[in-house]
């Protein structure tokens, strides 16, 4: 597709020779604003995969434009063809000769290398270049205003490849490319696109533009020894098939390999009529991208016309024929609008090139298009639907709506497995359908049909293998001197043992491929190594991985890829504890003073309420006042132990008692639990309650050798380095905590939770953690950045967790005595009123309801009990004032007497009064009746 371009005008000016016969020194010449003939140029390699298709497209477009009476009426468009002959130098000379012919635009060049040079000429002569084949993304820069690309830039194609790589969850690719402007700049964009997906190009394998089969064979042999098995091929279509032919001979087209080709391959296959079976077998499993053009009747008719043209070099055409055809129409539409807007077509000599100082180059013959500065904006404003789709430019001078077909090549041909567009990414729906919907490029929306990969398998290849250089994975293991349950040196192979090694080996055994490995101890064996240095050594590629109790912290994840954590961790504070001495008043500590007072008051209150409700019904609640008072006290406090002997017979009394017994049950249970906790709890021997109180002090703090805790305490918590003391092993931990800061020890120790659990177990639980875990992290295995092993090992660790093997390994190495929960202060076990006020409120409301009901009932009975004689004497007594005072005192005394009576007596009296009233009423009726 591309040829090597000649860089710079210096070489051109020194080497170029244009004979005098073809150069005529012409002064400024002006053409009519409405000429009868306009000329455009065409610059491409005629004998090439792209050139053969483009030539027929340009010729057909010229015929169609001249036959159309609505475009450029009265004006004939001529085209001047120049063959670049696959040479950067010749292509540059041909382009300069073309500029002598007063062309208003040039269709081409086809090569990105030539475009880089000729774009400078176009800038000087104001002649737009409408390139259908130069796909180098850097040509869209502001440096080349007169370069207008009428096809899609490789920028979008490389982002499509990056999306495919990410969709298949590959992280590394090897780029095989032609080492010219087209290849280098395209692969550079691919690297940027992969980086955004956390991928990368692990190796760039460059081929010269004229690479021989021997060159290709040497290059493929070298990349076959590397780790990645995903190859992106971005070369010229004229010799690109040689790459696959040699790869086939080297056994690189088999299962496990991935080959992704850019649009050069479909362009090559589309130009072959028909594609022979051997070529399809050679390319079995290859994924390729092709410019997407809508399947319209207009496009089908165009290809049918091309095949019926006599004298064509080929009967099959690729998509570049469409882009070349649309380029001619773009020039025609723009010129028609330019002339209608009053534009003039005129040419003149460039004053900068007139004085050649005796040079034989005759550069003064190059013609400047005077209307170029106005014609260029008109080109960029054109909007029409061509054979290749919508022809419209965005602000970066790129065609809108770039899209590609994703093809999978098989022995019977190639099939489309999906599409890519910058609108919605990967999809199985055509872009024309997606444009009618809201854009959606989310991960869940990315879809492709199944691909038949090399080796005729539909399983997505892993995309990498261990290099074929015989070197095993070099794994760094911390050489610990403490907590050897996690990691320790071993005399037997593999040379190390412990919990972390067993987890790593179990995960490795779950991988579907062998992993040759070698464990290398890191450290001197005298002190625990610095884990930050260990991580840095892996990042510097002195080791391939770090296996052990390596904590996953942010500054480490920036330089390494870690697996899923296989053990939860976090920093905790450890302090000494002491036993609480027994106190004779310990039984009062479960409740606060306020709680004791309220509880006692409610005992008396409920006892009084029950006495009131039961006094009229229950003989056990009657008797002399002294006895009644004793009954109230005895009954109410005996309910605390549910040992009251007095029975309740009234409904209201039983109602209150049930509520109260429930309250007593809750209070008793809470008291028992709190007292048990107080009598068995341990108390801190210091005032440290967590990391906050530790930070505010100035006492020394112990940490483990090599731990990240030192950096965390200094950098994150701003603790003075002079306060931090490094400790070697658990014995030193115990001694430092026991001696304390006054005895040359430490106030507390800050370390990771797994270590502390082992330490406290071995120290017979003489120490406790205080506060909460103040960092949330975990232990993981670290690999070099973008290592595919990190992902596979994470999956294996999750499988170990799900099937229970991870817990079994934990129990094998780390099963120890538990020291219970963290220490709490004794005062925290005291129960206050705020925990029970709801119960007291319910009980109080129940008592009030019962009392109100009782007194209403008594009052109603009392109103029926008033003697009739007193009522009659009230009627006969004419003196109301003295009688009123006497009746009030008499009624209150009567009420007290009435209340104190038994319920049974009241009912009997009321029954007798009722009979007497009925008898008196009967006598009155007989006396008053007529005889």
Helix (H/G/I), strand (E/B), else coil: 29: strand
Question: Which tops the pLDDT comparison, 704 or 820?
Answer: 704
In which order are the strands placed within the sheet that holds 147-149? 76-83, 37-44, 106-107, 129-131, 147-149
Instruction: Give the rounded distance of the alpha carbon of 530 from its chain centre.
Output: 31
Question: Which tops the pLDDT comparison, 638 or 58?
Answer: 58
In a domain, 922, yes or no: no
**Mean pLDDT lowest among 252-266, 279-293, 913-927:** 913-927
pLDDT of residue 210: 85
Q: Find all residues with CB under 8 Å of 78, minimum gap 6, and list them.
A: 37, 38, 39, 40, 62
The token pair at 592 is 């606060």
Which residue has 């691909």 as its token pair? 451
Q: State how far the Cα of 573 lies from the Cα of 589, in Å rounded to an integer.
A: 28
How many Cβ atoms sit within 10 Å of the Cβ of residue 842?
A: 13
Compute the average pLDDT of residues 720-725.
Answer: 93
In a domain, 124, yes or no: yes
pLDDT of residue 470: 59
pLDDT of residue 826: 46
211 plus 87 within the same structural domain: no
> Taking the chain, what is the end-to-end CA distance rounded to the nearest angstrom?
144
Reply yes or no on whether the pLDDT at 612 is more than 80.
no
The token pair at 417 is 């497995």
pLDDT of residue 642: 60
pLDDT of residue 31: 46
621 plus 669 within the same structural domain: yes
Reply yes or no on whether the pLDDT at 166 is more than 70.
yes
Compute the average pLDDT of residues 514-523.
Answer: 92
Q: Which helix (H) or strand (E) holds 97?
A: helix 88-98
Q: Of 22-31, 305-314, 360-369, 511-520, where does the model show the most confidence?
A: 511-520
100 plus 227 within the same structural domain: no
126 — alpha (psi -120 to 50), left (phi > 0) or beta? left
The token pair at 638 is 């005996």
213 plus 112 within the same structural domain: no
Cis peptide leading into residue 139 (ω within 30°) = no
Q: Please give the sequence-ordered ranges of beta strands (E in DSSP) within 453-504, or none if there are none.
A: 473-478, 488-489, 496-497
315 plus 394 within the same structural domain: yes
Q: State how far the Cα of 231 lies from the Cα of 404, in Å rounded to an integer.
A: 19
70 pLDDT band, cuts 50/70/90, is: very high
**Mean pLDDT lowest among 197-211, 363-377, 577-591, 657-671:** 577-591
Which residue has 């817990």 as its token pair? 807
Q: State how far the Cα of 322 lies from the Cα of 460, in Å rounded to an integer.
A: 34
159 plus 261 within the same structural domain: yes
Contact by Cβ (8 Å): 207, 184: no
817 pLDDT band, cuts 50/70/90, is: low
437 plus 315 within the same structural domain: no
**Mean pLDDT lowest among 243-257, 428-442, 651-665:** 651-665
395 plus 406 within the same structural domain: no
In a domain, 328, yes or no: yes
pLDDT of residue 137: 95
179 plus 256 within the same structural domain: yes
Compute the average pLDDT of residues 696-709.
Answer: 91
Q: In 435-560, which residue ranges form alpha helices assigned H by DSSP?
A: 499-510, 531-539, 554-557
**Mean pLDDT lowest among 193-207, 430-444, 857-871:** 857-871
Q: In 724-867, which residue ranges form alpha helices assigned H by DSSP?
A: 730-739, 753-762, 788-803, 805-814, 837-865
Q: What is the pLDDT of residues 168-204, one digit of tens each?
A: 989 899 999 999 999 999 999 999 999 999 889 999 9
pLDDT of residue 352: 76
The closest alpha carbon to 177, from 92, 258, 283, 264, belongs to 264
The closest alpha carbon to 707, from 569, 545, 520, belongs to 569
In a domain, 176, yes or no: yes
Compute the average pLDDT of residues 917-922.
Answer: 69
Average pLDDT, the chain: 84
How many Cβ atoms sit within 10 Å of the Cβ of residue 647?
A: 12
Our count of domains for the chain comes to 3
Q: Of 646, 665, 680, which closes a domain?
A: 680
Reply yes or no on whether the pLDDT at 351 is more than 90.
no
Q: Of 417, 445, 473, which closes a domain?
A: 445
Find the radius of gyration of the CA atoms of the chain.
49
Helix (H/G/I), strand (E/B), else coil: 478: strand
Q: Any idea what the Cα angle at residue 458 is, between residues 409 and 563, rounded to 5°?
A: 120
2 pLDDT band, cuts 50/70/90, is: very low
316 plus 416 within the same structural domain: no
The token pair at 761 is 């177990």
297 CB burial (10 A radius; 0-12, 13-18, 19+): exposed
Reply yes or no on whether the pLDDT at 884 is more than 60.
no
483 — alpha (psi -120 to 50), left (phi > 0) or beta? left
In a domain, 379, yes or no: yes
Q: Find all residues with CB under 8 Å of 155, minimum gap 6, and list them.
A: 137, 140, 189, 398
| Percent of the chain clearing pLDDT 70 (strictly above) | 80
Q: Of 333, 365, 399, which closes a domain?
A: 399
Reply yes or no on whether the pLDDT at 926 is more than 70.
no
CATH of the domain at 48: 3.40.50.2300
The token pair at 704 is 């483990």
Question: Which tops the pLDDT comparison, 652 or 482?
Answer: 482
pLDDT of residue 16: 38
The token pair at 535 is 């991580």
Instruction: Provide the domain limits for residue 592.
Output: 586-680
The closest alpha carbon to 111, from 84, 144, 140, belongs to 84
Reply yes or no on whether the pLDDT at 875 is more than 50.
no
Question: Which tops the pLDDT comparison, 194 or 659?
Answer: 194
Reply yes or no on whether the pLDDT at 498 is more than 80.
yes
In a domain, 255, yes or no: yes
pLDDT of residue 178: 96
In a domain, 322, yes or no: yes
102 plus 209 within the same structural domain: no
pLDDT of residue 21: 33
**Mean pLDDT lowest among 69-73, 348-352, 489-493, 909-913:** 909-913
247 plus 347 within the same structural domain: no
Q: Of 4-18, 54-68, 823-837, where does the model show the most confidence?
A: 54-68
In whole angstroms, how far apart are CA 409 and each of 216, 277, 502?
A: 22, 12, 45
Compute the average pLDDT of residues 460-473.
Answer: 81
Cis peptide leading into residue 494 (ω within 30°) = yes
Helix (H/G/I), strand (E/B), else coil: 518: strand
pTM over 0.75: no
Contact by Cβ (8 Å): 618, 644: no
Question: Which tops the pLDDT comparison, 925 or 126?
Answer: 126
465 pLDDT band, cuts 50/70/90, is: confident
Question: Which tops the pLDDT comparison, 882 or 293?
Answer: 293
**Mean pLDDT lowest among 254-263, 285-294, 425-434, 783-792:** 783-792
In a domain, 723, yes or no: no
């Amino acid at each position: 597709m591309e040829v090597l371009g000649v860089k710079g005008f210096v070489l051109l000016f020194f080497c170029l020779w244009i004979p005098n016969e073809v150069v005529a020194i012409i002064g400024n010449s002006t053409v009519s604003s409405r000429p009868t003939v306009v000329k455009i140029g065409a610059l491409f390699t005629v004998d090439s995969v792209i050139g053969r298709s483009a030539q027929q497209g340009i010729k057909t477009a010229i015929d169609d434009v001249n036959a159309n009476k609505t475009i450029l009426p009265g004006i004939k468009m001529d085209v001047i063809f120049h063959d670049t002959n696959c040479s950067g130098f010749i292509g540059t000379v041909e382009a300069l000769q073309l500029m002598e012919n007063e062309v208003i635009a040039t269709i081409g060049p086809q090569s990105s290398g030539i475009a880089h040079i000729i774009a400078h000429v176009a800038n000087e002569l104001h002649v737009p270049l409408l390139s259908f084949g130069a796909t180098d993304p850097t040509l869209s820069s502001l440096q080349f205003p007169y370069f207008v690309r009428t096809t899609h830039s490789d920028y979008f194609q490389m982002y499509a490849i990056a999306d495919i790589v990410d969709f298949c969850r590959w992280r590394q690719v090897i780029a095989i490319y032609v080492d010219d402007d087209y290849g280098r700049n395209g692969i550079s964009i691919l690297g940027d696109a992969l980086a955004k997906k956390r991928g990368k190009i692990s190796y760039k394998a460059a081929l010269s533009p004229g690479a021989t089969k021997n060159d290709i064979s040497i290059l493929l042999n070298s990349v076959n020894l590397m780790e990645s098995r995903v190859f992106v091929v971005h070369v010229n279509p004229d010799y690109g098939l040689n790459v696959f032919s040699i790869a086939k001979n080297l056994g690189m087209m088999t299962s496990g390999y991935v080959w992704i080709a850019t649009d050069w391959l479909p362009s090559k296959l589309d130009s072959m009529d028909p594609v022979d079976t051997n070529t399809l077998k050679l390319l079995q499993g290859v994924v390729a991208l092709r410019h997407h053009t809508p399947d319209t009747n207009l496009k089908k008719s165009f290809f049918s016309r091309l095949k019926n043209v006599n004298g064509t070099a080929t009967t099959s055409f690729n998509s570049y024929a469409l882009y070349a055809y649309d380029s001619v129409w773009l020039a025609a539409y723009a010129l028609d609008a330019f002339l209608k807007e009053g534009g003039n077509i005129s040419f003149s000599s460039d004053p900068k090139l007139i004085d050649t100082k005796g040079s034989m180059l005759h550069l003064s013959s190059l013609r400047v298009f005077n209307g170029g500065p106005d014609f260029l904006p008109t080109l960029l404003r054109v909007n029409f639907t061509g054979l290749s789709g919508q022809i419209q430019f965005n602000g970066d001078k790129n065609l809108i709506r770039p899209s590609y077909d994703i093809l999978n090549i098989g022995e019977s041909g190639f099939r489309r497995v999906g599409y890519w567009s910058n609108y919605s990414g990967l999809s199985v729906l055509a872009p024309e359908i997606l444009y009618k919907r809201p854009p959606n490029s989310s991960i869940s929306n990315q879809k492709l049909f199944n691909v038949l990969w090399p080796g005729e398998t539909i399983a997505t290849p892993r995309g990498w293998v261990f290099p074929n250089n015989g070197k095993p994975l070099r794994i760094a293991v911390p050489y610990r001197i403490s907590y050897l349950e996690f990691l320790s040196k071993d005399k037997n192979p593999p040379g190390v043992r412990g919990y972390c090694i067993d987890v790593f080996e179990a995960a490795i055994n779950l991988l579907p491929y062998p992993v040759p490995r070698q464990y290398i101890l890191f450290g001197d064996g005298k002190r625990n190594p610095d884990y930050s240095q260990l991580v840095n050594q892996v990042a510097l590629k002195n080791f391939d991985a770090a296996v052990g109790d390596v904590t996953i912290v942010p500054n480490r994840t920036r330089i390494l890829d870690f697996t899923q954590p296989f053990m939860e961790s976090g920093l905790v504070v450890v302090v000494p504890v002491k036993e609480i001495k027994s106190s004779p008043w310990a039984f009062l500590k479960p409740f606060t003073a306020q709680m004791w007072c309220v509880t006692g008051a409610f005992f008396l209150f409920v006892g009084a309420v029950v006495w009131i409700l039961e006094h009229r019904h229950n003989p056990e609640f009657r008797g002399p006042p002294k006895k009644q008072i004793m009954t109230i006290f005895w009954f109410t406090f005996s309910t605390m132990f549910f040992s009251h002997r007095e029975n309740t017979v009234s409904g209201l009394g039983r109602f209150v008692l049930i509520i109260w017994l429930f309250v007593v049950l809750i209070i008793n249970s809470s008291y028992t639990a709190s007292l048990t906790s107080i009598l068995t709890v341990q108390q801190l021997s210091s005032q440290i309650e967590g990391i906050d109180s530790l930070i505010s002090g100035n006492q020394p703090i112990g940490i483990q050798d090599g731990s990240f805790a030192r950096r965390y305490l200094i950098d994150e918590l701003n603790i003075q380095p002079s306060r931090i003391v490094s400790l070697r092993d658990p014995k030193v931990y115990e001694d430092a905590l026991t001696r304390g800061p006054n005895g040359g020890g430490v106030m507390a120790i800050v370390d990771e939770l797994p270590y502390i659990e082992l330490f406290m177990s071995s120290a017979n639980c003489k120490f406790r953690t205080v506060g909460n875990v103040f960092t949330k992290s975990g232990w993981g295995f670290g690999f070099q950045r973008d290592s595919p092993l990190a992902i596979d090992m994470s999956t294996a660790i999750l499988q170990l967790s799900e099937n229970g093997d991870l817990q079994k390994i934990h129990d094998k190495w780390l099963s120890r005595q538990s020291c219970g929960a963290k220490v709490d202060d004794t005062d925290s076990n005291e129960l206050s009123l705020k925990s029970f006020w709801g119960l007291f409120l319910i009980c109080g409301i129940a008592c009030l309801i019962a009392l109100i009901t009782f007194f209403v009932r008594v009052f109603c009975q009392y109103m029926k009990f008033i003697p009739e004689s007193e009522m009659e004497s009230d009627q006969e007594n004419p003196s109301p004032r003295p009688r009123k005072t006497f009746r009030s005192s008499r009624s209150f005394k009567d009420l007290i007497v009435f209340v104190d009576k038994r319920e049974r007596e009241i009912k009997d009296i009321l029954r007798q009064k009722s009979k007497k009233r009925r008898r008196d009423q009967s006598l009155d009726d007989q006396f008053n009746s007529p005889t």
